[in-house]
Amino acid sequence: MVSFPSSAFDIAEAVRSGSVKAAAILEDHLGRIAEREADIHAFNLVTADAARVIAARVDDVVAAGHDPGPLAGVPIALKDNMCTRGVPTTCSSRILEGWKPPYDATVVSRLAELGAVFVGKTNLDEFAMGSSTENSAFGVTLNPRDTSRVAGGSSGGSAAAVAAAFAPVSLGSDTGGSIRQPAALCGVVGVKPTYGTVSRYGLVAFASSLDQIGPFSVDVRDSALILESISGHDPLDSTSIPQGPLDLLSVLDQDVKGMRIGRITDMPEGADPDVLGRLEAAFDALRAAGATIVDVELPTLKYGITAYYLIAPAEASSNLARYDGVRYGRRVDSVDTNSMYMATRAAGFGDEVKRRIMLGTYALSAGYYDAYYGKALKVRRLISDDFARAYGKADVLLTPTSPIPAFNVGEKADDPLAMYLCDVYTIPTNLAGHPAMSVPFGDSRDGLPIGVQVMASTLGERPMFKVAAALERHMVATGGRS
Amino acid sequence: MPDPSRERISADAVAKVARLARLDVSDDEIARMTGQLAVMLEHFADIDSLDLSDVAPMTQPYPLANVLRDDVVMPSLDRDEVLTNAPATEDGRFRVPPIIGLEG
């Protein structure tokens, strides 16, 4: 029985040194996919043949005495809302079924240049709208830790793929918590970087002032490695911040002595007691490591749900207007263009997407714009200002990632508002454009993973990763018992 | 006595919004969405208590101005590759049904 390195960092090191073949690493992961994917449904598509070609090419480069790059032979899963040239990209929607993008997303071409091996496209809530991956047109993704429960969402497939060791790392997108919440529910690391640090060229748009791509991984170091690899300016994305890649691996070993960790005294209520218990344990661990816990107030945080669920659907209703049956995807024929649009969209979109398009169209419509969308933009400013004051006192803030651990499949399916409330702790970050990440920090009494969210101010990824690494060190040292 | 939450949005308003959003919806769907949207709008009323009179709207998180590039010709997508994704094409173009409606 051969034992392979499991982290992306160690895999790349072994493949570059020639001690392990990328092809062998790939087969190891494909073997686990063959074994468990039918029970999990992390993927919309497994691209085994294409992956074998790429892995063989990586091994050829090593054999020729060259370096394939810092991600040599690392299997990576991509959320199925990232464009892959010639490979179906569905957003888990019937309306895009069969669509093959004529270009690669920038994140895809960057990872490919660094030697990564793409294993497949992962399931999501349709157009990334949801918190459980139950809104997929192609079936639910189940939680590898307990398959009677959801994996979270919307990037549930990418979280589950890493939790089930189908790939050591994956990419997701986060508009209101869609990376961090499934990471917490599946017991893996998930990072939503600062708005503008990772190119969104080739990411199918949901809400353009909020969307951001980020990594999932088993440990903090792998997320740092992937984020270093995909961050940095891209001229093809005009919202991309003009700066180089983030420098994160170098901070992971630094200690947190003297850092100011913010505790939100007026945090929105409703979190499960086990979740709050693990949050307290995180504060204790950081205090023991030499950090200072400081109280901060964010009185407008509780209005985040309202601001988000007006702004995101408004932007989505505009972005999704492009699915009209003319240029790509599905068409339902009719006698004229207008009835063709209406029939195509009715048949192509699922319930949640329709609901959000309706909500957004209503919030933007004449007579309601000021009362809903206009007001939401002002509340967004208040939340952002509250954060600015809090980050004057604290380097990072700690909250739960999700108010509850993984819930049962179907539990919230008929209550859209209850589903929206799952995002109460993750949404404010997107409104402000800040970075935040979820770090696994023990289990509930029922044995379900619990994540702690580390949040930081604009471009505060370095202090954020430093604290995340300290929490992880504590988990390794204590085995999660304190 | 009508449920006050139901008054936040009427079925007629929902039907109008569906037309604006170019969505064919059945009467059943309108009834269901009216109820669901009313519950959401009820929750969203929580911001009505805030004084927003002097607050500037925030449309995007990072202060980027218009981004311009030099006007240089660069390669674009291949026409044939793009058209292979279209539901219907004719002479290298997208084909659509008549624009002028037969109804109303």
Contact A378 B21 (CB under 8 A): no
- Cβ within 8 Å of residue A355, ≥6 positions away: A416, B33, B36, B37
Interface test with B, best of A84, A198, A362 (most B CBs within 10 A): A362
Is the bond into A154 cis (omega within 30 degrees of 0)? yes
For residue A379, the tally of other CB atoms under 10 A from its CB is: 25
Give the closest-approach CA distance of B1 to chain A in angstroms. 24
Distance CA A482, CA A466 (A): 20
Contact B59 A361 (CB under 8 A): no
Confidence of residue B7 (pLDDT cuts 50, 70, 90): low
Which secondary-structure segment (H or E) carries A146? strand A146-150
Residues 36-65 of A with CB under 8 A from B: none
Distance CA B45, CA B40 (A): 9
How do residues A152-190 score in pLDDT, each as one tens digit? 999 999 999 999 999 999 999 999 999 999 999 999 999
Q: Which of A238, A335, A359 sits opposite B97 (nearest CB)?
A: A335
User: What is the predicted pLDDT for the residue at A2?
Assistant: 66
How do residues A189-222 score in pLDDT, each as one tens digit? 999 999 999 999 999 999 999 999 999 999 999 9
DSSP assignment of A83-110 equals -BTTB---TT-GGGTT---SS--HHHHH
**Where are the domains positioned within chain A?**
8-251
**A170 with A158: CB under 8 angstroms?**
yes
Confidence of residue A482 (pLDDT cuts 50, 70, 90): confident
CATH architecture of A8-251: Alpha-Beta Complex (3.90)
How do residues A427-479 score in pLDDT, each as one tens digit? 999 999 999 999 999 999 999 999 999 999 999 999 999 999 999 999 999 98
What are the chain A neighbours of B36 within 8 Å (beta carbons)? 355, 416-417
Contact A381 B62 (CB under 8 A): no
What are the chain A neighbours of B88 within 8 Å (beta carbons)? 331
- What residues form DSSP beta bridges with A456? A396
Q: Which of A326, A335, A358 sits opposite B33 (nearest CB)?
A: A358
In the numeric block, which tokens belong to residue A264? 């939100």
Confidence of residue A3 (pLDDT cuts 50, 70, 90): confident
Distance CA A44, CA A57 (A): 25
**A363 with A372: CB under 8 angstroms?**
yes
Q: Which of A305, A361, A433 sits opposite B61 (nearest CB)?
A: A433
Please indicate if any CB of chain B lies within 8 Å of the CB of A370. Answer: no
Residues 292-331 of A with CB under 8 A from B: 300, 302-303, 305-307, 309-310, 317, 321, 324-331
Predicted confidence (pLDDT) at residue B1 exceeds the cutoff of 60: no
**A180 with A455: CB under 8 angstroms?**
no
What are the chain A neighbours of B31 within 8 Å (beta carbons)? none
Distance CA A208, CA A203 (A): 10
pTM of the model: 0.97
Instruction: Using DSSP, state whether A279 is helix, strand or coil.
Output: helix
Q: Which residue of B has its CA nearest to A85?
A: B81
Contact A417 B50 (CB under 8 A): no
Please indicate if any CB of chain B lies within 8 Å of the CB of A209. Answer: yes
User: What is the predicted pLDDT for the residue at B100?
Assistant: 77
Taking CB atoms and an 8 Å cut-off, how many pairs form between chains A and B? Answer: 167
Q: Which of A300, A327, A434 sits opposite B94 (nearest CB)?
A: A327
Predicted confidence (pLDDT) at residue B3 exceeds the cutoff of 80: no
For residue A148, the tally of other CB atoms under 10 A from its CB is: 10
What are the chain A neighbours of B47 within 8 Å (beta carbons)? 303, 306-307, 375-376, 379
Place of tokens 């180089």: A244
Confidence of residue A386 (pLDDT cuts 50, 70, 90): very high
How do residues A288-311 score in pLDDT, each as one tens digit? 999 999 999 999 999 999 999 999
Which secondary-structure segment (H or E) carries A232? none
Residues 215-234 of A with CB under 8 A from B: none
Distance CA B97, CA B30 (A): 27
Distance CA A400, CA A107 (A): 29
H-assigned helices in A151-303: 156-163, 180-186, 220-230, 273-288
Q: Which of A209, A241, A361 sits opposite B20 (nearest CB)?
A: A361
Q: What is the CA radius of gyration of chain B?
A: 23
Distance CA B31, CA A448 (A): 38
Distance CA B16, CA B10 (A): 10
User: What is the predicted pLDDT for the residue at A413?
Assistant: 86
Closest CA to A90 of A416, A350, A355, A423: A350
Q: Which of A119-133, A245-259, A298-312, A412-426 has the lowest mean pLDDT?
A: A412-426
User: What is the predicted pLDDT for the residue at B67?
Assistant: 85
Catalytic positions of A: 79, 154, 178
Contact A377 B58 (CB under 8 A): yes
How many residues would you count in chain A?
482
Q: Which of B17, B24, B47 sits opposite A375 (nearest CB)?
A: B47
Contact B43 A384 (CB under 8 A): no
User: What is the predicted pLDDT for the residue at B64?
Assistant: 78
Distance CA A154, CA A333 (A): 31
* CA B100 to each of CA A322, A337, B96: distance values in angstroms, whole numbers, following the listed order: 20, 8, 11
User: What is the predicted pLDDT for the residue at B6?
Assistant: 44
Contact A358 B23 (CB under 8 A): yes
Cα within 13 Å of Cα(A244), Cβ side:
2
Q: Is A36 exposed, middle or buried (0-12, 13-18, 19+ CB in 10 A)?
A: middle
What are the chain B neighbours of A194 within 8 Å (beta carbons)? 62
Q: In chain A, pLDDT over 90 holds for what percent of residues?
A: 96
Distance CA B89, CA B82 (A): 11
User: What is the predicted pLDDT for the residue at A115?
Assistant: 98
**A428 with A387: CB under 8 angstroms?**
yes
- Cβ within 8 Å of residue B73, ≥6 positions away: none
Interface test with A, best of B9, B23, B77 (most A CBs within 10 A): B23
- What residues form DSSP beta bridges with A294? A262
Confidence of residue B102 (pLDDT cuts 50, 70, 90): low
Predicted confidence (pLDDT) at residue B104 exceeds the cutoff of 70: no
Query: B72-79 — which CB contacts under 8 Å span 24+ positions?
Result: B77/A102, B77/A103, B78/A102
Predicted confidence (pLDDT) at residue A417 exceeds the cutoff of 70: yes
- Enumerate domains of chain B plus CATH numbers: 4-47 (1.10.20)
ipTM of the prediction: 0.92
- In this structure, the strands spanning A169-174 and A75-79 are parallel
Mean pLDDT of the A376-402 span: 98
- Greatest Cα pair distance in chain B: 67
How do residues B60-99 score in pLDDT, each as one tens digit? 998 878 888 899 998 999 999 999 999 999 999 999 999 8
Closest CA to A136 of A192, A185, A97, A167: A97
How do residues B16-49 score in pLDDT, each as one tens digit? 999 999 999 999 999 999 999 999 999 999 999 9
Tell me the average pLDDT of chain A.
97
Predicted confidence (pLDDT) at residue B4 exceeds the cutoff of 70: no
- What residues form DSSP beta bridges with A142? A150
Interface test with A, best of B8, B22, B37, B103 (most A CBs within 10 A): B22
What are the chain B neighbours of A434 within 8 Å (beta carbons)? 61
User: What is the predicted pLDDT for the residue at A128?
Assistant: 98
**A270 with A424: CB under 8 angstroms?**
yes
